[in-house]
Each structure stands twice: as C-alpha cells, then as structure tokens.
Structure 1
Amino acid sequence: MLCFFGSFSVLYMFFHTDVKRKLITPSIESLFLHNVDVFTEEVPGYYCPSNIEEDAAEDILCMERKQFLKNYKNPCWLQEIDDYGSYPVQTELRCFPYFHIFGVCKTGTTDLFFRLTQHPQILNNFGLLNKETWYWSWRRYGQATINQTKITLDEFSMLFSMDKMRETKTSLDDWSQYSDLITGHGDPMDFWDHSHWREIPQNAPYSKSPKFLTPHLVKHVQPNIKLILLLREPAERLYSHYYHGRYGRTSEEFHHDVITGIQVLNECLSFNSFKTCLYGHDITQLMRLPLSASLYYIHLKEWLDVFPREQIFILRNEDYQKDMKYSLLKLFAFLGVGDIPSNLLNEIIKMPHKYETKRKQNQGSMLNETWEILTDFFEEPNRKLAAMLNDERYLWKDTEFKFRPKKLQRIVRKIRGDDHLRRYYERKKNSELNPKSMIDRFIMSSNSYEEWVAKVKKYQEERLKTYNSNKRKKPDRTFHREKLKMNQPSSLPFSPSHRNHTFQQSKRNDSEVLEVVTFSSSTNSDQKKSYIQKDFTNTSDTDITKSVSNYTVKNQIKPPVYVGNITRVRSIPTRKRLQNFHRRRKRRERRTVHSFKSIY
C-alpha cells in the first residue's frame, strides 16, 4: 500500500511539473534567479532563437553573465586577449558601470552627473561629454552610429575600462589588494525611448505591445546596478526638450504641436491602453514633440516590474535645485562611497550649471494657454505617479507658471522647401498672430497659402527695389588727367612727380572748369586764407595762373575747389585715406542686417 502511494506521488509530481513547464510561462524575475542554463532552454514566452541574422542586434538575454571580481567595488572582470596562442594567456581589465542615471531628458542629468564625478571615488567614462554612451536605447540597434553599425556589449564595456580603474589599494587587515573606485553613465533616453523593442529576439515583431524592454536587458547583464532617476515638472520638461531636440523654434509652434499631439494620443486611447499606444502603434514617431517622455508613471512601472524599489533612487529636479547639498549627500550614501570634506562639497555646489538649452532661454517661457492645456493633460498621470511612489510631491502642486520674456536678438528664419513653408503658414494661422509683424499681417489678410506667398514675394521685390535705389554707389577711383583751358598751363605747379589729382572737366558746361589748387606745408595760414577768399568772378585765366604759380606743391592740405563762379574748400584724400575709406565702407555693408530677408 505504501509502495503504491509512493509511486503515485512520484508520477503526480512528474506529470504536474511537466504540465506546469509547458503551460505556465515563468516570470522574468524568477528567470533571473535561475542558473544561466535556464536561458538556453526553449520555454513558452522566453527562448533563444538560433536563426538570428548576422546584422541583427545582440541577443542579450541569451548571453552568459560575467563573473565579476570580488575585490573590486565596481563590476569588473579579467578578459582574455587573443594574442595568437601566446603563453601565458594575456588578460585585460574590463568593467561595466556601477550606476546608471537612466532618466529623464532635460531634468538636469548632465549637471548631476558632472557633480557626482567630482567625488574622488567616482570616475567618468569615455562616452559623449564623458557621460553618455547611448548604448541600451540607440547604439546597440545601429541608431546614432557611423554607417548604422550596431555596437556590441564588449565595445560598450570598453567605455568604462579606464587606466585609473586598475589602481588598487592594500588592505591593512590581510594585506590584500582591493579597489573602491566606481564609474557610471547617464543616458536619460533609456527611461522612455523603447522604439527598437521589436528588434529584441524574445519579442514578437507583430505584437501590439512588447514583453521585454530595456530594463530586462540591463537586469540580465547587471542585476545589482544602482539606478538614479531625476524627474521634473512634466510641462516644463517637455518645453525644454522641445527646443533641445530641435522639434520647433518658437513658443507658438510649441503650442500648435502640443494641441496636435494630444489629439493624436486621445484618438488612440479611445480604443487602446497607454502602453499599446506608446509602444505598439509608434505614436511617438507621428507626434512632433516628445510628449510620451513626460508620462512618467507608464515608463517607471516597466522598470519597477524588473528592479526593486530600493535599487532606484528617485529625485525631483526642483528639490535638487533647492537643496543641492542634501541631495548630493543622499546620493553619495546611496552609491556607498566615502564621505568627502566639507570644503570640497561646498566647491562642488558652487560650480556653475553644466548645461542649459540656450534656444529655450532666448525664446522665453511657453504661452499661458499652453501651460493650462498641459497642466490639465498631466493631472491624471501625475496622480498615478504620486500614488505609485506614495509621495504627493510628484503632483507638482508647488510649481507655478513663470513668465519669462524673449531675449532681444537677431533672428534670421530660414525655411527651405514648400512643405516647410506650408507647415510654417499653418502653424502661424492657428496661433495668435502679432499685428506688429509684417508677415503676420499678411497672414491675417490672406485667405489661402498661395495668396500669402504672393503677397510676401511682392513685398520682397518692393523692398529690394527700395534698397537698390538708396544704396550708395561706389566712388570712382580713377582720376583722369586733362589739360587746363588756360593760356599758360606749363606755369602751373602740377606735374606727375608730385602725385597730385589734377583737374577734371566739368560735365555741366564747357565754359565751367573744375580747378584744384594745393598748398605746400611752408605756406602760412594768412596766405591760404587770402587766396581762398579771393573772388575769381571777374578774374581772367592769366591772373589765376600767375597767382597759383607763387605756391609750391609738396603736401595736400586744404585747397580751394571752384566750379565756375562757386568757390568752396575741401581736402583731397590721399591714396591711403581712400583705402581706409573703402575699408570702412565695406565693413559697414557687411554689418548691415535687413529687417526682412527672404524666407526661401
């Protein structure tokens, strides 16, 4: 009886385990707790395909985990170098990041990473700005790389293999070698940008929503990584991201794109969930602004499903700016690094802000109408985020709209192509127009896009004609020498050796002669004044010649110039003065900026 009961229990456990293995898909948390061999077995919902294309991204979930060195605080290992069969085997130190600032864009992640790396135990990396690697969301799929080359995990580890990481210390207890240095990276797009989830082999490419995302891949490679998340008021973050990503140029364009993006998202939400709309239908590619990046609770839920809450340090940008010292001390304690002197901490706090979006500063704040629309839109997502974190600060009730005027600057708008010009016209038409702007007045008086273009072209032609008519003509640099209509031209003190500008025949009348008389430096002022004030009206040409012959010519000072019966005084410029004059004129023309330029 006992034997029968024992055999029955064994058969029951065998069949029960088999059925459970076939019908029940294990959770991703339980898979990470198993041995590596579990990942190589084909189970429903999680398998390692064998027919992966050569140009496809690496199958991270089916890779064997690295065995990290125990005497290194940072996750590092010794990797063998293929040196053509040399003996002994050559090895080099490779490392993964100890911490990861994985979100969110335009919340102050660059400034935070820069201040963290001022700690003596924290090192930067070889990535962009010594901070960003772009690996998990972009570069491992061929985005933002040269010739769309997919970066491997081995190449990713080389960004953290600094020479200083090889430095070790000696323990006084057992005289062993250890290293307390750590490194990290900050890729704020990893929090929300999952646009390449279909390239993960474990995801069905034609499904509506993904099962495995970036947090699952990070968990498999580094299960104990420290995650840091920096959040900001979603409307302000979206406005800053809009200019940083070059989605638009003005607050009016931002207002128009916000309305369009919310309409597109609401149409999808009427039939699908948030996750399906953001991931399955690729709405992020259709919208003209990164609206999905501000929906914090949706993306944070994906990370909290994989990592425990204690492993993610979440901080508001407003609290970080308000009390930077307290925030940095809490982060240092979270990373497990030693204390730093108070004077060094004060120097870190006094450092200037690392990076700011200049386009946003020049354009000022968003429109008040845009702020009200976004506040209503983000009210429900913020409420869910506050309930998820059990913290009412994430409702952002303490953040109010702050008006910032536009900075005075020279803005030259360059719009190329008819499509861009038509889009510009539609944005302007649907936004609040400025009656002081000539282009806005044309839009207000036009009934169609073609009529507006015709008016702008006509206005440009009129401005061009006015400019050409008022444009100063270049002075003639050539001076022709002509014979004087006088009885004794040889007695005049003019000769080619003196490099003087001679007489020019007047174009008014043949009887009118333009005469230029110069004095020497030895001529006193009384003689010049008496000669200049002399009336030439009733004087013959012979008397004029005799009067002029009493003076010698060496330098050109202030000669009298008369045309017919009109006498006046002016200085004849020398060659160097003429050159300086033309240089100044060219500089003025280069500095001239027209208020209305062609928009084609």
Structure 2
Amino acid sequence: MMRKCCQMRKDMKCVCVICISLSMFAVFLLSYMTSYELQTKTHMRRVILGGLGEFNSRGNTREENSIQIVEVVDTSGKKYRLDSFLDSSQEDSVELHFGSKNKVVTSATTDVQTTHAQTTTPHGWIQKNCTGIQQTSELLQTKTFQFLANYKNPCWHEPLRQVKVYSRNRFSEFSRYSKLALNKLEEEWAKRISNNPYPRRLRCLPYFFIAGQPKCGSTDLYQKLTSHPDVVTPPIKEPHWWGKNRYGWRLNYTTAIPLTDYIDLFDRAALMIEHVVNPLVPVEDGAEPFHQVITGDASVSTLWDSDDWWRLDENCGRKEPLYTNADYIHHFLPNAKIIVILRDPTERLYSDYLYFQKSRKSAEDFHLEVTKAINGFEACLGKYTQRSCIYNRTVANLSKVRLRIGLYYEFIKEWLKVYPLDQMLIIRLDDYARDTRLTLQRVFNFLGLRKLKRDEEHIFQKPVANKRRLKDKNIGKMFRDTNRILDNFYRPFNEKLAELLDDTNFLWTYDSI
C-alpha cells in the first residue's frame, strides 16, 4: 500500500512538472509570436495597435484605414511612451516591423510586387492610400426603423421565425447575466411560436441615454432612475455598443458586434413594455392601448468614446473623425433623450485614477501621470488640431490618467450639432449630491415620467451606489500642485462650457479635494 502511495505521489509530481513546463513554453511562444520590432532595432515584446496593421498571433494583418500605436512594451515588461522611440522633432517616420523576420506592414491597396512600407508619424499615424475607399458610413446607410405610435419608447414589431434567435449573440459570450436573460426569453418565444400562426416579437431601442461621464455619479443616478415603475432595464447597464463594443472591444477586437445583437439586449425590456399599458389614456374601439414604459442605455462612454473612428472607410486619410457617436445615434433615434452628469473635471480625474488604477496608487504617481498626460496632449497640439488630439487613442494612452474625458465642452459641442439643447439634460454631481430628490424630479420631468406615488418615494432614500472605496480614501488627497495644474488646464474648457450652457455653475469652484 505504501509503495502504491509513493508511486502515485511521484506520478502527480511528474504531471505537475509537465504542466508547468508546457505553460512556460506556451507563454514563451505567445510572447515570441506577438513580438514586434521598430527600425531603431529595439526589440519589443508587444506593440498594442489601434488600426491598419492589426496583427493576430500568426503575424497576419487585417488591413484597416489607419493605425495608432497605443503602447510599447519591451521584453522585460516595461512600458514606454511612443515618443521615447520616435523623435518628434523630425519629420522622418519609422517603419513598423513584425517579429524577427522583419516583416513590413503594407497597404491592402498596394500591389504585392511593388510593396511600399507603411510609415508612422510621431503620434502613431500610418498613412494609407484611400483611392476607391467608400466614403459613407455603414451605419448611416442602414435603414431606420418605423416606430409604433402607441408606444412611448421607440419600438417596432418583427416576425418571430425561430426559437433560438440568440444563438450567435456576441454579448452572451462575455456577459453571463446577459446569456441567462436571453436564454430565458427563448422560452417565451417557444410558446408564441406554438400558440400563434403568425408569431412576432416587439423590438426596442433606448428611449434615453445616460451618455456620460465616468465617476460623476452615473451609477447612482441610473439605479434610482430605473427604480421608477415606468422604467425597465436591459440585462447590461453599460453595453458600450456605440462607443466600443460595436467593434468587438470585449472580444479583443476579434469580431465586430452587429446592431441586431445590441437590439437583442432590450428584448426583455420590450416584453415588459408590451405588457404594461397606461390606464389613464382612453382607448377607442379597435385601437391599440398606449404603452408608457421606457428603457435606456447607461453606457457612460457614449458621450466621448469615438476612438475606433479610424476603422470606418469614411475616415480613410483623416486625422479626426467625420462623425461621432452623436451622429450615429441621431440617425436611428432623432428624438432620443440624452442625459449627461458632470463634476469638477479635476476631481473627476482623481476619482477615475483611484477607481481604475489597480496597483501602485499614490498622490505622487498621480502627479507624474498628470504631467505626462498634459505634456503628451500639448505635444500633439503642436502638430495636429485639438479635435484630432482628443480623438487620438495613442495620445490618450501615453498616461494612466484619462485626461481628455474632462474636456466636457468639446464632447457636448459634438452632440449639440445634431440634437437640440432641449433634448439634452446636463446636470452637475454637486447639485445631485446636495438635493437628490430635486435633481431626480428634474430627470423624471425631462423623460416625461409620471409623478411618484407616496409609497414609491422610497427610491429617493436609497443608499448611494458606487461610492469611493475605503482603501482609496486612505490614499488621501492629490497634491496641491497637481490640483493647481489641472485647474489651469481645464479652466478654458469649463469657461466655454459655461458659456455654451449659459450657466456659470459649470465653472466650478476650484476647492481642494
């Protein structure tokens, strides 16, 4: 018996050694296969790309419209700024090479026998021949939906031809809750198909968007707003489809997520919208009852994150996007209600840093990253337009702090190009925190929601959601010098925002945190 036990232990050790060896080999192989090399002969383990030469692990390229080099990591794992490899004082560009074979990234429009190397500028751009490229956005060419008049929320009916309508939905691949919700819905569709000769389902898009901004109280606002009896929610609070996931952000950009998959997320809400009618609206004989329930999208990237604009043919050769998320949403939802909640951008940035930075957080590190971010942004302004630098992912990723999110004026200005101001409600976290009830009533009025009954007013007393974590509070305040630098950086943008909205409260008072 003892011999058998000893033998079993030896076998287990052998298995462990083999597994560890295989894992180490796999890591080494992956590292090698995703390595890059610049013309400076500096060997890289990884260059994270955002454009034309988007490599997979086999070194093949999937040609896009342009490129932005987002991040450079050397063989030891140390990260570098792009401008530490590129001399921004020179107009000369460098070639991007793949692995040890020195494979040059080439344009899809260039003949193989006369291949010319693509070149990148100091801010990450690679030029591409745009001859013959389509100049109209795919989304803007998509046919719009005819919404039902007896539904407050934008909805329409579609024939229901099969039960397994969500088998290829991309959101179910990374959201377990979404997958469960969609699978549950298929039980309802099975009943409809078996009981109705002409089955159909109600399809809906959001009536409202809480479009921005991160770390400004949007989670608490969303939770209290969706507690209203006439508001129903999709299974994912922030699908980020308009800003990121349309291009497959959560799927490592391996596949795009179509509009139909996004609409699927609102099918459960649509089912509830369909079953609730307004008893106060009289119904004439033979007429359809009125459905007053609404749903929304609370992705706070929607206002500002148009970073993947370079993937679209219409932007080929451009240094800034022709259209933003505002244009695409307006194409489908010209009557959408847009809610934006803001706070002092200096405070927002520090809160954002403490929340999203997972390790080595400190006031000193924050100061260094702020300095790096401002320097990178100002260096970009020396060569490109302000709009180009704001929508340049390379510039944004030069630092760990998301400096540009606080440029509220620049993003809201884009939305006001297509939406009138009375379809946008822009509120301050300061006001929301000071008088939550009054601010929520403003939101309810903006969305045309009925007044709450007395026994429903408990939602005003709900605990604050997504508060700053205790361990982050223990880090303390930012340095006074950091606060001053950020206040000076954001002040011109705040002044423009206050003028745009005709409200001096958006100047904020630059108190210490």
Is the TM-score greater than 0.5? yes
Structure number with the bigger relative contact order (C-alpha 8 A, sep ≥ 6) is 2
Check conservation: 1:207, 1:280, Cα contact below 8 A.
Answer: no
**Offset at residue 217 of structure 1 (A):** 0.6
Matching residue of 1:278: 390
1:61 is displaced (CA, Å) by 0.8
Aligned ranges 1:462-541 → 2 under 5 Å:
none
**Aligned counterpart for 2:282 among listed residues 161, 172, 175:** 172
Choose from 94, 115, 128 the match for 2:203.
94
Structure 1, residues 121-152: CA drift from partner, whole Å, max 9, x if none? 0111111xxx2111111111010137733221
Q: For residue 314 of structure 2, give the secondary structure of its aligned residue in structure 1.
A: coil
Instruction: Tell me how far 1:350 sits from its aligned partner.
Output: 1.5
Alignment partners' CA distance in 1, 2:395 and 2:155: 39
Q: Paired residue for 1:450?
A: none
Residues 293-325 of structure 1, C-alpha deviation per residue, up to 9 Å, x if partnerless?
A: 001111111111111111100000101111111
Letter of the aligned partner of 1:288 in structure 2?
K
Number of positions where the alignment pairs a residue of Structure 1 with one of Structure 2: 344
The yes-or-no answer on 1:295 pairing with 2:407 is: yes
- Cα contact 1:168–1:177 (8 A) shared by 2: no
Task: Please state whether the residue corresponding to 2:397 is helix, strand or coil.
Answer: helix
1:114 aligns with one of 207, 215, 223: 223
Corresponding position: 1:136 with 2:215:
no
The 3-state SS of whatever aligns with 1:315 is strand
SS in 1 for 2:150: coil
**Matched residues in 2 for 1:124 and 1:95: separation?**
12
Equivalence for 1:150 = 256
- Structure 1 residue aligned with 2:324, among 194, 200, 213? 213
Taking a change above 3 Å as real, the CA distance of residues 289 and 147 of structure 1, as seen in their structure-2 partners, is closer
Aligned to 1:344: 456
- Which residue in 2 is equivalent to 1:263? 375
> Aligned partners of 1:400, 1:252: CA distance in 2, in Å?
19
Distance in 1 between residues matched to 2:310 and 2:197, nearest whole Å = 43
**TM-score normalised to structure 1 length:** 0.54
Q: Under a length normalisation based on structure 2, what TM-score does the superposition of the two structures give?
A: 0.63
Amino acid in the other structure paired with 2:147: F
Q: In structure 2, how many angstroms separate the alpha carbons of the residues matched to 1:384 and 1:106?
A: 22
The alignment partner of 2:307 has SS state of coil
Partner Cα distance (1:316, 1:190) in 2: 18
| Cα root mean square deviation, aligned | 2.5
Q: Does 1:70 find its partner at 2:149? A: yes
- Structure whose CA Rg is larger: 1
Render the CA deviation track for 1:322-377: whole Å, top value 9, x for unaligned: 111111111111101111124532x2222111112325323222122211111111
Partner of 1:309: 421
* In structure 2, distance between residues paired with 1:166 and 1:157: 16
- 1:228 aligned partner: 339
Corresponding position of 1:464? none
How has the CA–CA distance of structure 1 residues 364 and 192 changed in structure 2, closer, same or farther, with 3 Å as cutoff?
Answer: same
Partner of residue 490 from structure 2, selected from 378, 390, 395: 378
Of residues 167, 170, 182, the one that matches 2:294 is 182
Partner AA of 2:416 in structure 1: L
Paired with 2:138 and 2:263, the residues of 1 have a C-alpha distance of 16
1:269 shift after superposition: 1.9
The percent identity for this pair of structures is: 33
Provide the rounded CA distance (Å) in 2 between the counterparts of 1:146 and 1:264: 26
Q: Secondary structure at the match of 1:394?
A: helix
Q: Distance in 1 between matches of 2:204 and 2:481?
A: 49
Name the SS for the 1:229 alignment partner. strand
Amino acid at match of 1:239: Y
Distance 1:281 1:185, change over 3 A: closer
1:318 and 2:424 aligned: no
Residues 281 and 96 of structure 1: is their aligned pair in 2 closer, same or farther, counting only changes over 3 Å? Answer: closer
CA drift at 1:114: 0.2
How far 1:164 moved relative to its partner?
Answer: 1.5
Judge conservation of contact 2:372–2:398 (CA < 8 Å) in 1.
no
- Counterparts of 2:292 and 2:202, CA distance in 1: 15
Tell me how far apart the structure 1 counterparts of residues 432 and 496 of structure 2 sit (CA, whole Å): 22
Whether the 8 Å CA contact 1:386–1:392 is kept in 2: the answer is yes
Shift of the 300–147 alpha-carbon distance from structure 1 to 2, 3 Å rule, reads closer
C-alpha separation between the residues in 1 aligned to 2:251 and 2:257?
Answer: 8
Matches of 1:367 and 1:182, distance apart in 2: 44
Say if 1:194 and 1:213, in contact at 8 Å, map to a contact too.
yes
Please list the CA deviations of residues 33-55 of structure 1 after superposition, one character each: whole Å capped at 9, or x if unmatched: xxxxxxxxxxxxxxxx9988xxx
Cα distance in structure 2, aligned partners of 1:316 and 1:281 = 27
Structure 1 residues 113 and 88, CA, compared in 2 at 3 Å: closer, same or farther? same
Give distance in 1, aligned partners of 2:344 and 2:260.
Answer: 37
Cα offsets for 1:182-232 (capped at 9, x unmatched) = 01121111111111011233222x311111111111011111110000010
Query: Paired residue for 1:542?
Result: none
Letter in 2 for 1:306: V
Q: Give deviations 1:491-519, integer Å, cap 9, x for gaps.
A: xxxxxxxxxxxxxxxxxxxxxxxxxxxxx
SS in 1 for 2:201: strand
Please list every run of 5 or more consecutive structure 1 residues that lacks an aligned counterpart in the other structure. 1-48, 53-57, 403-600
Moved more, 209-218 or 166-175: 166-175
Q: Aligned residue for 1:195?
A: 307
Give yes or no for contact 1:255–1:370 (8 Å, CA) kept in 2: yes
* Contact 1:210-1:280 within 8 A present in 2 as well: no
Partner secondary structure for residue 242 of structure 1: helix
**Amino acid of the structure 2 residue aligned with 1:76:** C
Give SS of 1:380's match. Answer: helix
Distance, in Å, in 2 between the alignment partners of 1:241 and 1:281 is 17
